[in-house]
Amino acid sequence: MRILVVGAGATGGYFGGRLAAAGRDVTFLVRARRAEQLAASGLRIRSPHGDVNLASPKTVLAEGLAEPYDLVLLSCKAYDLDGAMASFAPAMGTDSMILPVLNGMRHLDALDARFGHARVLGGQCVIAATVDDDGTILHLNNVHGIAYGERDGGTSERVQRVDAALSGAGFDARLSEHIAQDMWEKWTFLAALAAGTCLMRASIGEIVAAPGGDATMRGLFDECAAIAGAHGHAPRAAFAEKALTMLSQPKSSLTASMLRDLERGGRIEADHIVGDLIARRGAGVPRSILELAYTHLKAYEARRSSGG
């Protein structure tokens, strides 16, 4: 299976690097500057699960795409989606599949409109990673996994081929028969985490140590879960229990990556993670602090765009 990984940053570079190191046929679609960096220094991963050093990873620029790939692994930020779709469009053949691992659900609408529902798998990833100043990918904890499947449920011959390509490559790969449910559950947790930690500018442990903090985080998750339920994807009991435990853990250092982006003055996925969930609110879903958190995020974006 020929795999095109869109980007070689923290997520695409990590999973694509693991796949390439395991002997898979991987090419990275990158911009000129990253291509030069990879040609000069290679692709380097530093991880608790073992380091990866690829001296000469295969790369291609958008203008160099001339033939289709079997699988496009898409891990860009939501605000870069339009540019990413334009860049990999020449790599899409009749039977090409896209495996997006973005958070939320709105990207699926854009991908469906551009390439067709049949070409877009469901997917998600769990990893904490960053890229340092010299281009090295730093894996920050022990978690590194991708889940994928047919969005309509069940399995298929093509997704089994994807499973064969991704399995045994040095990270946790999981074929899911209910990937849409998995994606909604992750979204409810992530939206609550991002809304709470960004609004309070604090970790979970710091929030729950404050008066009303525990109730605030639980209320945020309940509201997000109610929206998911209105769309037929209420979090399963075991997931909800685990999520609430993580969102109310005393002394926890957990924060959303959106808070880290915000604190360094970077772009954030406010519309994709929080705003889109609010937009999908069904009748009868109680309102709480989610709208206030979204207003806070959009005010940050407005100030950032004005140079404040």
Which residues are part of the catalytic machinery? 186
3-class DSSP state of 283: coil
Radius of gyration of the chain (CA): 19
44 Cβ contact list (under 8 Å, min separation 6): 51, 52, 53, 54, 135, 136, 137
Write phi, then psi, for 293 (nearest 5 degrees): -60, -40
247 Cβ contact list (under 8 Å, min separation 6): 189, 192, 193, 196, 204, 217, 218, 220, 221
3-class DSSP state of 45: strand
- β-pairing, 25-29 with 59-60? parallel
Let me know: does 178 contact 233? Beta carbons within 8 Å. Answer: no
CA distance 12 to 291: 32
| CA 201-195-239 angle, 5° bins | 120
β-sheet bridge partners, residue 97 = 71
What secondary structure does DSSP assign to 106-150, as a single string?
HHHHHHHHHH-GGGB-EEEEEEEEEE-TTS-EEEEEEEEEEEEE-
DSSP 60: E
Q: Which helix (H) or strand (E) holds 193?
A: helix 179-200
